[in-house]
Amino acid sequence: MAAVRELADSMSGAIYLPADEGYDAARKVWNGMIDKRPAMVAACSSPADVQHCVTFARERNLLLAVKGGGHSYPGKSTCDNGMMIDLSPMHAVAIDTRASAATVQGGALLGHLDTASLAQGLVTTAGIVSHTGVGGFTLGGGMGRLDRRIGLAIDNLLSATVVTADGQVRHASDDENPDLFWALRGGGGNFGVVTEFVYRLHPFDDNVYAGNIQYPIEQARHMMTVFAELEQTMPDAVNVEPYLYVADGQRMFGFAILYAGAPEDGERVLQPLLAAKKPEFNSMKPDTYSRWQTNADEYLGHGKLNYLKSGFIVELTPSFIDAFVGNYEGDELPNVWYQHLGGATSRIAGDATAYAHRDVRFNLGIDAVFTDAAETEARINSVRRYHQAMEPYMKGYYTNLNEEGAEKTWGNYGPNYPRLSEVKARYDGENLFRLNANIMPAA
């Protein structure tokens, strides 16, 4: 207890113990399915706080969880009995318009980054829900509606400041600790606590062309076949996300579309897809990117029960399309959606960063979002069933979404794993940072 008091005295942020007021709020993470009770939550408000906490946990062999935005589906940012470092007080964003760069603290949310940069007519790739943390999002890769145009979040990362397992603050960039910088870009939270990210920003006009088009489920095969053909030559500014869901007992199929450029160009570029078959519902119109970046915030809000599996898709072949539609049958069905990759994400070598999946065109997500705990088993089974049916068409998965064992993690990083494992041994040989897609330190 004296040691905890000493730690608390050394910090500018607060420590919450189970008996403290505020503990329950502090231990919460986004997914309502996760209900863990750390022995302490350390709300860090400076890199020095993080250093103290990392040292405290290492010296006492405490299980250590690091929470950025708390959006890990399997709840990797909390733990029972150990310490949770909560980075949420560290959410400042500074925009340097001259250098076209954003300096972002490790506990900021994507909304903090988007809001600050878009206000200056600048942008970098951020995900589709604004209350997601920059931390976990970036370290796993970072996909968003602009990734085909300007690359993943890691492709725009200029540098990072990290508190490593020895309690030291290290800078990582192409020039400083380049091995660490390589590993951070896709290797997740394995290498330390990132207290600051610096991203490259791109000039950007918030006015875009966007909306949804929907068809009866019977048209899904046809429209996916048309899309598969057109998609091959679509410009990088186009982001198209097919989806399947159930509304009022009806199976629905649609495309969520965003053209990140002048609305009149978007209308022209997307005309072949829009004209292929008259949609039953069409909300395509000039819109703003900033509105799209928050329009799923409420549906995917904090505290709901969430279960998800995903996998990467290299090509929309006829047999894949058949399986995608044909398996969407039964009483209990999950949501199925895509994230559009390719473009700039594919023009980077597979070994240039730790993120190894440069050859895929889509991330296929399968999830259940619900509020009644009595539905848990049926909802989880619906996700697993559809995922199992689609797995033969998948090539690896996004470590930011799936919860998989050590062997699958190894395979998923492919030829990048041995190098990751060596970097892990150099910076975290005792595997202090293990609540993540865990890389084992090389022997």
Ligand X SMILES: Cc1cc2nc3c(=O)[nH]c(=O)nc-3n(C[C@H](O)[C@H](O)[C@H](O)COP(=O)(O)OP(=O)(O)OC[C@H]3O[C@@H](n4cnc5c(N)ncnc54)[C@H](O)[C@@H]3O)c2cc1C
Query: What residue ranges bind ligand X (CB under 6 A)?
Result: 30, 66-73, 76-77, 87, 106, 127-129, 132-133, 135-137, 139-144, 188-189, 193-194, 300, 400-401, 435-436
Q: Is 111 helix (H, G, I), strand (E, B) or coil?
A: helix
Long-range contacts of 346-354 (CB under 8 A, 24+ apart): 348/151, 348/155, 350/414, 350/415, 350/416, 351/415, 351/416, 351/419, 352/182, 353/154, 353/155, 353/182, 353/185, 353/186, 354/182, 354/183, 354/184, 354/185, 354/186, 354/187, 354/413, 354/416, 354/419, 354/420
Separation between Cα atoms, residue 407 and residue 409, nearest integer Å: 5
Is the dihedral angle over the CA atoms 254, 260, 262, 265 positive or is it negative? negative
Is the dihedral angle over the CA atoms 41, 44, 48, 54 positive or is it negative? positive
Asked if 433 and 66 touch (Cβ cutoff 8 Å), the reply is: yes
Minimum distance, C-beta of residue 249 to ligand X, in the bound complex (Å):
25
Q: Which is nearer to ligand X, 290 or 327 (CB)?
A: 290
Minimum distance, C-beta of residue 139 to ligand X, in the bound complex (Å):
6
Q: Residue 249 corresponds to which amino acid?
A: G
As a whole number of Å, the end-to-end CA separation of the chain is 36
Q: Which is nearer to ligand X, 163 or 325 (CB)?
A: 163
CA 262 to chain centre: 27
| Residue pointed to by tokens 């559009």 | 340
Q: Which is nearer to ligand X, 90 or 276 (CB)?
A: 90
Separation between Cα atoms, residue 110 and residue 6, nearest integer Å: 34
Minimum distance, C-beta of residue 161 to ligand X, in the bound complex (Å):
10
Minimum distance, C-beta of residue 219 to ligand X, in the bound complex (Å):
27
**DSSP code, position 133:** B
Q: Which is nearer to ligand X, 222 or 395 (CB)?
A: 395
Minimum distance, C-beta of residue 150 to ligand X, in the bound complex (Å):
14
Q: Which is nearer to ligand X, 254 or 279 (CB)?
A: 254
Q: Which is nearer to ligand X, 63 or 262 (CB)?
A: 63
Find residue 312's DSSP bridge partners. 363
Minimum distance, C-beta of residue 143 to ligand X, in the bound complex (Å):
4
Q: Which is nearer to ligand X, 265 or 297 (CB)?
A: 297
Minimum distance, C-beta of residue 110 to ligand X, in the bound complex (Å):
8
Is the dihedral angle over the CA atoms 135, 141, 147, 150 positive or is it negative? positive
Separation between Cα atoms, residue 87 and residue 133, nearest integer Å: 10
Q: Which is nearer to ligand X, 30 or 413 (CB)?
A: 30
Minimum distance, C-beta of residue 322 to ligand X, in the bound complex (Å):
27
